[in-house]
Amino acid sequence: MNILLIILGILCLLAGLAGCILPALPGPPLAYGGMLLLHFTDRVQFSPTQLVVWLVLVVIVQVLDYFVPLLGAKYSGGSRWGERGCLAGTLVGLFFMPWGIILGPFLGAFIGELLGGRETKEALRSGLGSLVGFLLGTVVKCTLCGYFLWKFVEAVW
């Protein structure tokens, strides 16, 4: 049974890493699931504190993943039009994988700002801010999943 749980845990971790880039897969929750599978083996027992802290981190990262592009648009000088456009672009981009999820927030913020009456330069700055926010969120997800992978390998070896 331990070998089956370890194999399933590895698969969850690999799917979690893929999910950091492919938005159809929830990366950090899958990787956390892999850690839980390892916890249920006789090989290693994580402390309840570790499991709760990891769960809180996963929830925070998942929530921030949706708001960081919006914050990027906002803090790069975007208006409500840009924020709404970024949100709409993110949602529409989900249907055009994989490039839609990258370009969606950028184009949404850019078009939203143009519709709101902003100059092209200001709209471009807002779009780039949302793109930087998206990339930052991806780096944070990859870092968390990479940490889970490291702890998994450390525990199994």
> What is the domain partition of the chain in residue ranges?
2-156
What is each CA distance from 41 to 36, 45, 88, 125, 155, in whole angstroms? 9, 8, 43, 50, 11
E strands, the chain, in order: none
| pLDDT per residue as tens digits for the range 44-102 | 889 999 999 999 999 999 988 878 877 777 777 778 888 888 888 888 887 887 788 77
Mean pLDDT on 92-121:
84
pTM for this prediction = 0.80
Counted residue by residue, the chain has a size of: 157
| pLDDT per residue as tens digits for the range 27-51 | 999 999 999 999 999 888 899 999 9
Residue 106 has pLDDT above 90, yes or no: no
Confidence at residue 16, expressed as pLDDT on a 0 to 100 scale? 94
Q: Would you say the C-alpha torsion 65, 66, 72, 74 has a positive or negative sign?
A: negative
Closest Cα partner for 93 from 85, 82, 84, 101? 101
What is each CA distance from 80 to 62, 89, 94, 111, 114, in whole angstroms? 23, 14, 21, 12, 12
Q: Token pair of 36, please? A: 């839980």
How far apart are alpha carbons 81 and 4 in whole angstroms?
50
